Amino acid sequence: MIHKIASAIYNDVVSGLAGVNSNPAISMDQLEDDVVDERLQIIKEYSFKGITPTKDLMIAINCVKLDCLSLDKCPCGTDFTKPELHFEIPQIINDYGEDGVSYLGAVNKSQNYKIYTDINDFKYHTYKRRGSEKPYGFIDVTPNKNNMLDGWLFNAPFTKLISVIMIPKDPRQLDEYGCCAGDNVENYTFLTAEIKKRLTEKKLRYYRSFLASPQPNNQVAR
């Protein structure tokens, strides 16, 4: 999705610079980074106004594999920590807290597990009078060494695969999952047009102001 938006902006900018600069040096990698940054900026602006349709921003990952990792992220099998069911997901937009993940549970969507992103709420789950024995998950919102987020699943033995519906901070991280490569996700929303408009205007203004072709000096010396 990000690559397609960046390509559309690139074509608009090149067309808009016709006659001003015949060969603008536009990096597609940088343009994709700009698309991600602009997307986050627009989401924050709409969030402050309280008008962000979060459901339109959700993307499902239906093939999140579980492995084994302790909460202190030490390798499994050590004598000092207890290994737990562990998964890894793309970074979420922390402004929404736990609302940034609308579903975490069985792949067939039959059971939605309770989700915690706050460490204190997570620690006190075991003291709840009701529901403490049901499956639940904890997501550490600090990026790990892979620039992703670590999550752990509890009270769900024999689980090997889960589904997550979330608002990703950078949709390109979906490329890590074979079931939903980023370029195959066609989740275009109101943000798409706004991103294109803003970035195209910014790029055209920049190139026209600073990278215009040099003009010949037609002044006659006296």
Integer Cα distance of 207 and 44 in angstroms: 27
Q: What is the pLDDT of residues 129-139, one digit of tens each?
A: 787 889 999 99
21-24 own/partner pairs: CB under 8 Å, 24+ apart:
21/207, 21/211, 21/212, 21/213, 22/213, 24/207, 24/211
Domain residues of the chain, as ranges? Answer: 1-53+189-211, 56-182
91: confidence class by pLDDT, cuts 50, 70, 90: very high
Q: Tell me which of 211 and 56 has the higher pLDDT.
A: 56
- Tell me the pLDDT band of 78, cut-offs 50, 70 and 90: low
Q: For the segment 102-123, what is each residue's pLDDT rounded down to a tens digit? A: 999 999 888 899 999 998 999 8
> Does pLDDT of 148 surpass 90?
yes
